[in-house]
Structure 1
Amino acid sequence: MGFGETLHGWRKRTRPGDVGIDGGTARRVTGLRRAELARLAGLSAEYVKQLEQGRASTPSAQVVGALSRALRLTPSERDHLYRAAGLTPPAGDVPRALPPGARRLVDRLRDLPVAVFAADWTLVHWNRMWSATAGDPAGYHWPYDNLAAASFLTGDPAEEIGPWPLRAPGGSAAVEVAVVADLRAVAATYPADALLASMVDEMCAASARFRELWTTGTVTAHLGQTKTVEHPVHGEILVDCEVLMVPGVDLKILTFMAEPGSPDAAKLDAIRDGLGAAW
């Protein structure tokens, strides 16, 4: 169904009382009249007619937003109307909640260390294997519960913001470059997120290193790489840190895996065995 047909159908289903209009008793239609929708959206009735008939086929994001608000559309309906107009739906806040489907996926990965981050690197969930391998996040004490903020606001190197070091090729400097590049992409996607904006402002004010990277760095998604966990009991563990994206909710699932049959895999097995029979 195209934009015009969708708009027409949703106008006809919208009762005047639902949008603050007195429908009166002599009304012959149950839905909104074009003139009523046009008035609510700040448009002309003729333009609304052209949109519905497909004679105006490229409405702006401002027009689609005004129509969405006038019709009191749900977020899903609003996004559909934007896409029907050939536009990208507007982003609100960074999703920072773990939906049930993603939680079930994490639960199935219980044999691996797994942590879930929001798009802006806010830590939102982890499993017992993550705590046993990378340290219990309850004791991380990260500002904003955020990996990026901890990298620039705690005064500690990016590789040492957890209970024990997590080394990466290129050292802390490479980690900082990758995280800031990813964060800049997220900020462009969610320009209205007040919490993200506040965090970025604080990092800019507190860290010359962050300001430098924020103003001159690249924009790219952060992908997985090799890490070395300096475990206090089992020593160095070489792992592949993979970043899995959750479709539709913009979450990052980080997993640690070691080469099968390697000494590093044996160390992960030992950590898993140490969690006990209840595991």
Structure 2
Amino acid sequence: MADQQRRRCLAEFLRSRRERLTPEEAGILAGPRRRTPGLRREEVAQLSGVSVTWYTWLEQARDITVSRQVLTSLARALMLSSIERRHLFGLAGVPLPEQPPGRGPGPALQRLVDALEPHPAYLLDANWDLVGWNRAEAGLIGDPGQLEPAERNLLWLVFMDPAMRTLMVDWEGQAQNLVAQFRADARARFGDPRFERLTGGLREASAEFRGWWEAHDIADFGSNRRQFRHPWVGRLTFDYVKLAAMDAPGVKLFACMPADAETTGKLPALQRCAAGEVPAAAQVADAVDGLGVSRAGA
């Protein structure tokens, strides 16, 4: 019943878009006698490169197979907007093609990240390059703005920055999980120059990355809880929330939500660390001695 209803909705949507599109908009000569509003079925079929019979069956909500290629042709022929195109693919039950990465986040997204203070938050693009962060995140992992652009990448930091091995509780488990998540998330990035440089550089520089990458393990993001041993603030526990930016393809926002009251109380100290203000010596001693970690900054 659900499939039948979905096919009916698909048929009605196609018919409504066809009837709204004028022959002139589609580049077709209307002719003197034309009773059909918008385009005829045979005209849509011709513009899409499919048979009239097949397209008629589609508008009749028949149980037929619809491919991604045909849907792309229909979307182009009917001059669908991006949201109409997503709706068409959804009604057909066909996943959308992978979107290429956009030009990065706009100012509004960065303002959103800043507004999440005092919670650490950051933006990653399709290759997991850090393209935005707030002060709390800089206080947690160090200021990415001090790095070379090619090094502002989450995986590069995890594997190539020695301080991250001390900062991340269970570095090995977390790093291995991140590699599996990245392989699943970046399945459409193969052949992209930035992707190839990043993974090639990591395979060459890190035996651990090379081994985990070649294992071809994949993992979904799910609900992640991560713990840190901050050299100045002490132990921190965060639940990570991931959101996709619909107006910036490939960009995802990560917000770190405190998992306990102790972490919540330490958030202002992270902001002070980002500003270069180290907590009082007594507090530092308590945090470091209690955890047995180095006093070197993250």
* TM bucket normalised to smaller: 0.7 to 0.9
Q: CA deviation at 1:219?
A: 0.9
Q: Aligned partners of 1:124 and 1:85: how far apart in 2?
A: 34
Note if contact 1:11-1:31 (Cα within 8 Å) is conserved in structure 2: yes
Listed as ranges, the matches of 1:205-224 within 5 Å are 206-207=204-205, 209-222=208-221, 223-224=224-225
Q: CA deviation at 1:55?
A: 2.0
Answer yes or no: is 1:49 the counterpart of 2:52. Answer: no
Partner of residue 244 from structure 1, selected from 227, 241, 244: 241
Note if contact 2:110-2:133 (Cα within 8 Å) is conserved in structure 1: no
Q: 2:291 corresponds to which residue?
A: none
Note if contact 1:15-1:31 (Cα within 8 Å) is conserved in structure 2: yes
Q: CA deviation at 1:120?
A: 4.0
Query: Relative contact order (alpha carbons < 8 A, sep ≥ 6): 1 or 2 greater?
Result: 2
Q: CA deviation at 1:210?
A: 3.6
What amino acid is the match of 2:213? W
Note if contact 2:228-2:235 (Cα within 8 Å) is conserved in structure 1: yes
CA displacement 1:39-75 (0-9 Å, x = unmatched): 1211100110010011244422222222112222122
Gaps of 5+ in 2: 1-7, 277-298
Q: CA deviation at 1:146?
A: 1.9
SS of 1:112's equivalent? coil
Q: CA deviation at 1:22?
A: 2.9
Note if contact 1:93-1:193 (Cα within 8 Å) is conserved in structure 2: no
Q: CA deviation at 1:256?
A: 6.3
Structure 1 residues 40 and 258: alpha-carbon distance in aligned structure 2, compared to 1, 3 A threshold: closer
Q: Aligned partners of 1:191 and 1:41: how far apart in 2?
A: 29
Structure 1 residues 268 and 197: alpha-carbon distance in aligned structure 2, compared to 1, 3 A threshold: closer
Q: 1:90 corresponds to which residue?
A: 97
Q: CA deviation at 1:23?
A: 2.8
SS of 1:2's equivalent? helix
Note if contact 1:203-1:210 (Cα within 8 Å) is conserved in structure 2: no
CA displacement 1:2-52 (0-9 Å, x = unmatched): 111111111111222323333344443342211111112111001100100
Task: Kindly tell me the number of residue pairs found equivalent between the two proteins.
Answer: 261
Q: CA deviation at 1:206?
A: 3.5
Q: 1:21 corresponds to which residue?
A: 28
Q: 1:167 corresponds to which residue?
A: 167
Note if contact 1:241-1:257 (Cα within 8 Å) is conserved in structure 2: yes
Root mean square deviation of aligned Cα: 3.4
Structure 1 residues 268 and 54: alpha-carbon distance in aligned structure 2, compared to 1, 3 A threshold: closer
Q: CA deviation at 1:202?
A: 3.3
Q: Aligned partners of 2:87 and 2:194: how far apart in 1?
A: 26
CA displacement 1:54-97 (0-9 Å, x = unmatched): 12444222222221122221221111111111222222124674
What amino acid is the match of 1:252? L
Note if contact 1:133-1:271 (Cα within 8 Å) is conserved in structure 2: yes
Q: Aligned partners of 1:127 and 1:237: how far apart in 2?
A: 20
Listed as ranges, the matches of 1:73-152 within 5 Å are 73-94=80-101, 97-98=104-105, 103=110, 105-118=112-125, 120-143=127-150, 145-151=152-158
Q: Aligned partners of 1:25 and 1:199: how far apart in 2?
A: 60
Q: TM-score, normalised by structure 1?
A: 0.76
Note if contact 1:142-1:150 (Cα within 8 Å) is conserved in structure 2: no
Answer yes or no: is 1:59 the counterpart of 2:66. Answer: yes
Q: 2:200 corresponds to which residue?
A: 202
Structure 1 residues 183 and 273: alpha-carbon distance in aligned structure 2, compared to 1, 3 A threshold: closer
Q: Aligned partners of 1:203 and 1:177: how far apart in 2?
A: 17
SS of 2:228's equivalent? strand
SS of 2:256's equivalent? strand
Q: Aligned partners of 2:204 and 2:31: how far apart in 1?
A: 60
Q: Aligned partners of 1:77 and 1:193: how far apart in 2?
A: 29
CA displacement 1:102-127 (0-9 Å, x = unmatched): 55653442222322323542212212
Of all paired residues, the percent bearing the same amino acid is: 28
CA displacement 1:220-273 (0-9 Å, x = unmatched): 13423101223xxxx25211133212256461313264743x4x6665434546
Q: TM-score, normalised by structure 2?
A: 0.72
Gaps of 5+ in 1: none
